[in-house]
Chain A
Amino acid sequence: MNPGIDLQGSFVRALIDLGLPSGVAKTVWLPLPMLLMLVVATVSIFICVWLERKISAGAQQRIGPEYVGPIGALQAVADGVKLIFKADITPAKSDPWLFAIGPAIVVIPVFLSFLIVPFGQNLVITDLGIGIFLWIALSSIAPIGFLMAGYSSNNKYSLLGGLRAAAQSISYEIPLALSVLAVVLMTNGLSTIDIVNQQSGYGFLGWNIWRQPVGFVIFWISALAECERLPFDLPEAEEELVAGYQTEYTGMKFGLFYVGSYVNLMLSALIVSVLYLGGWSFPIPVETITGLLGVSESAPVVQLLSASLGIVMTLIKAYLLVFLTILLRWTVPRVRIDQLLDLGWKFLLPVSLVNLLLTAGLKLTFPFAFGG
């Protein structure tokens, strides 16, 4: 396997060459990828909001934002500035502590999950052995934040919205985890890097979407429900519940929910592209291209190009999925709460169990194709 660029190694070596002790050099390196990932996640909010506004406008034959920045690209910045300067109101009979902590609990796990999102062989904050399991565990914390926000607002719509959000998260976590389990079964490991490497053999023909079509659809539906995107945005269904658990929130506390939902959308899209669409791998393997061109794979220029290509591919796949969710938002009507729970428990759960069983059977029968 191509080792790729080892940024950490070269950075630490460069600092040691400058005369720093190796411990200090590694400590200087530590915060850099985390900061970079925070910036990537934050910038992704702006891009997602802009895409959402522009594509929604396109779907409704409007123009959408066009005055704030070039083709309206800075609209999200304007929204953010407005939210920051809004008065931060805590309702009189609310529970001020829980009211303030709730949004933070929703947002923090989402940002933490970026620990395991890979953009290349070494372009990941940590290659944890538990990888994808960490994301499942962290995403299960969010319902506590929803319940906290819903309860502390002291508003019946908020409480109903919080309860709905928690019920929805719990019921869609199970099909989500089961479809991830089928992928993990084929990979023989939970690490996100291993999951991508296992798919990278035959270009786009090797991607998991061909071997796990059912799992892909289940995962996508469940991820939409976990993000509370439109066919499943019941917790904030504005016609029934005002705005669900967000009703009483304003200013930056509301902004945190907003940030959390868009970063979560981006995170889910990235995870889908890692699990099913080959992550950073190009549709035609880079090894084949370099072989055809007759250049060495380990040449510095080729390494740099393939690493950049990997980042671009990951982002392209993720934003394609974001585009799909926005189209879905204006195509599919919202389901009712009973339909939502029926779909989760009576359809997705059995189907994902059968999918897992089939994957295990296929793995035993065709070990060459299903990662024996």
Chain B
Amino acid sequence: MNLAEGVQFVSLVILGGLMIFSALGVVLLSNIVYSAFLLALTFISVSGLYILLNAGFVAAAQVLVYVGAVNVLILFGIMLVNKVEVFSEVKNAWVGKAATGAVCAGLFGLIGTMVTSHPWAISTAPAAGDKAIEVIGQHFFSDFLLPFELASILLLVALVGAIVLARREFLPDLVAPQQEALTLPERPRELVAAGVRDED
């Protein structure tokens, strides 16, 4: 094992451990802010794994999209509505937890068997490396065109939905209870006290 392979191996072990423990922390910690920060750590370690796989562009995109955008928005959401609320104890809460645990263990077993039983045909072609951007681009505009366009439509729908949600709070004001004839809908204003304009 030469130096480069040794460094790769050590990085793989560190990144893998970091990813597993931070992912466990996301699920198991009760403080949601810690969970969100650990989620960022998980994403970063995934991007580290991409770097080990010679996929630099995917790694940077992972950091930009998941850490820089998704995770920051999650944190933003948590911090803007960080309402401390004491929830009342639910009776027999362990049933739900046990069921969740069983489902998770089942899923883990299923995926584990799939991973071990699948004959992974590892490509012997050299990694694209720095040419990866061109390869990805060509795929996007040839055989992956439909998913690419569908994803953009999905984003457009989300954008329109966000705008509709953000503008909605003005609607109840517009629906005035009794609209007098020949008036335009207007928000109620505070009445200016008489005498204020005396100084003009």
A76 within 8 Å of B (CB atoms): no
Main secondary structure, interface of A, reads helix
A313 within 8 Å of B (CB atoms): no
B67 within 8 Å of A (CB atoms): yes
B76 within 8 Å of A (CB atoms): yes
Determine if B57 and A163 form an interchain contact, defined as CB atoms under 8 angstroms apart.
Answer: no
Choice from B2, B64, B76, B132 contacting A140 with Cβ under 8 Å: B64
Bound state CA distance, A151 and B74, in angstroms?
A: 14
Bound state CA distance, A137 and B72, in angstroms?
A: 13
A138 within 8 Å of B (CB atoms): yes
> Which residues of the partner chain B approach A134 to less than 8 Å between Cβ atoms?
56, 60
Determine if A167 and B76 form an interchain contact, defined as CB atoms under 8 angstroms apart.
Answer: yes
A27 within 8 Å of B (CB atoms): yes
Bound state CA distance, A191 and B133, in angstroms?
A: 11
In chain A between 163 and 220, which residues have their CB closer than 8 angstroms to a CB of chain B? 163, 166-167, 169-170, 173, 190-191
Bound state CA distance, A136 and B57, in angstroms?
A: 12
Bound state CA distance, A163 and B129, in angstroms?
A: 37
Q: Mark B147-169, 1 if CB is under 8 A from A, else 0.
A: 00000000000000000000000
> Which residues of the partner chain A approach B189 to less than 8 Å between Cβ atoms?
none
In chain A between 112 and 149, which residues have their CB closer than 8 angstroms to a CB of chain B? 128-130, 133-134, 136-138, 140-141, 143-144, 147-148
Residue of B with least CB distance to A147: B75
Main secondary structure, interface of B, reads helix
Q: Mark B33-60, 1 if CB is under 8 A from A, else 0.
A: 1000100100000000000000011001
CB proximity of A193 to chain B, nearest CB, Å: 12
CB proximity of B28 to chain A, nearest CB, Å: 17
Q: Mark B68-109, 1 if CB is under 8 A from A, else 0.
A: 110111011001100000000000000000000000000000
Bound state CA distance, A130 and B57, in angstroms?
A: 6
> Which residues of the partner chain A approach B145 to less than 8 Å between Cβ atoms?
none
Bound state CA distance, A128 and B67, in angstroms?
A: 21
**Chain A interface: which size bin?**
20 to 34
Bound state CA distance, A134 and B56, in angstroms?
A: 9
Residue of B with least CB distance to A160: B79
B130 within 8 Å of A (CB atoms): yes
Q: Mark A148-164, 1 if CB is under 8 A from B, else 0.
A: 10110000000100110
Determine if B63 and A141 form an interchain contact, defined as CB atoms under 8 angstroms apart.
Answer: yes
> Which residues of the partner chain B approach A128 to less than 8 Å between Cβ atoms?
56, 130
Known contacts A27-B3, A147-B76: does B132 contact A129 (CB below 8 Å)?
yes
Determine if A144 and B72 form an interchain contact, defined as CB atoms under 8 angstroms apart.
Answer: yes
Determine if B68 and A143 form an interchain contact, defined as CB atoms under 8 angstroms apart.
Answer: yes
> Which residues of the partner chain B approach A191 to less than 8 Å between Cβ atoms?
130
Bound state CA distance, A141 and B47, in angstroms?
A: 13
Choice from B56, B72, B132 contacting A143 with Cβ under 8 Å: B72
Determine if B3 and A173 form an interchain contact, defined as CB atoms under 8 angstroms apart.
Answer: no
Choice from B37, B40, B56, B79 contacting A130 with Cβ under 8 Å: B56
CB proximity of A170 to chain B, nearest CB, Å: 6
Q: Mark B129-148, 1 if CB is under 8 A from A, else 0.
A: 11111000000000000000
Bound state CA distance, A170 and B75, in angstroms?
A: 13
> Which residues of the partner chain A approach B57 to less than 8 Å between Cβ atoms?
129-130, 133
Bound state CA distance, A138 and B14, in angstroms?
A: 21
Bound state CA distance, A159 and B76, in angstroms?
A: 11
B61 within 8 Å of A (CB atoms): yes
Residue of B with least CB distance to A127: B130
> Which residues of the partner chain B approach A137 to less than 8 Å between Cβ atoms?
60-61, 63-64, 68
Determine if B133 and A130 form an interchain contact, defined as CB atoms under 8 angstroms apart.
Answer: yes
CB proximity of A101 to chain B, nearest CB, Å: 8
Determine if B68 and A173 form an interchain contact, defined as CB atoms under 8 angstroms apart.
Answer: yes
Bound state CA distance, A163 and B75, in angstroms?
A: 9
Known contacts A137-B61, A140-B63: does B131 contact A170 (CB below 8 Å)?
no
Q: Which of A137, A141, A163 has the most CB atoms of chain B within a 10 A radius of its CB?
A: A137
Determine if A141 and B37 form an interchain contact, defined as CB atoms under 8 angstroms apart.
Answer: no
Q: Which of B57, B63, B68, B132 has the most CB atoms of chain A within a 10 A radius of its CB?
A: B68
Starting from the known contacts A129-B130, A143-B68, A150-B79, 11 additional A-B residue pairs (CB-CB under 8 Å) come to A128-B56, A129-B57, A129-B129, A129-B131, A130-B56, A130-B57, A141-B63, A144-B75, A159-B79, A166-B75, A169-B72
Which residues in A have some Cβ–Cβ distance to B below 8 Å? 23, 27, 98, 128-130, 133-134, 136-138, 140-141, 143-144, 147-148, 150-151, 159, 162-163, 166-167, 169-170, 173, 190-191
Subset of 10 A-B contacts with CB under 8 Å = A23-B2, A128-B130, A129-B56, A130-B60, A137-B60, A138-B63, A140-B67, A147-B76, A150-B79, A163-B79
